[in-house]
Amino acid sequence: MPRAALGRRRDHRSAGAPGHGSPSAPPGDPTPSGTPPRARSNVVTFLAGADVALSVSMTLTSTALGVFMTPFLSSALAGTLVPVDPAALFRDIVAVVIVPILLGIGLKAAAPRAVGRVARVAPPVATVVISMITAR
């Protein structure tokens, strides 16, 4: 996806599209390109009865790379059009992605029974919440 974002940005510039040189079109591409819909894919994989371990492994890899690549790509691809602070973006990603993962791991270790009860209703609730967030 990052290569596709770069290609769209180059196409946008070479085509002389309206808004060329303004932040109206290309800056939106790097962020979704560096942040694939991780949580949604794991929920759908679970609901479909597919290989959840493989999905989570791929999600882990994507998340680990995304934490570093999103600030880099945002700065590299959109930094000439809009101000991008890669360090602040990195801190925000850590707060939104890494901290919840670590909290979930800690909660499961500290209170496995409570997590087991919540785990029964979590997939349908997650599906509804993710749908509500992405529908905006």
> Is residue 88 included in any domain, yes or no?
yes
92: containing domain: 2-6+20-134
pLDDT tens sequence across 30-50: 455 444 456 677 778 888 899
Task: Say which residue, 102 or 29, is predicted with more confidence.
Answer: 102
> Is residue 14 included in any domain, yes or no?
no
- What residues contact residue 4 under an 8 Å CB cut-off, 6+ apart? 33
pTM, to two decimals: 0.49
Q: What is the pLDDT of residue 4?
A: 56
Calculate the alpha carbon distances from 132 to 76, 93, 98, 126 in Å. 31, 21, 22, 10
Give the mean pLDDT of the chain. 75
pLDDT tens sequence across 57-107: 888 888 788 778 888 888 888 777 778 888 888 888 888 778 888 888 899
| Pair of tokens at residue 46 | 């679970």
Calculate helix-pair angle for 52-73, 2-14, nearest 10 degrees.
Answer: 40
Domain count, the chain: 1
- What residues contact residue 8 under an 8 Å CB cut-off, 6+ apart? 26, 29
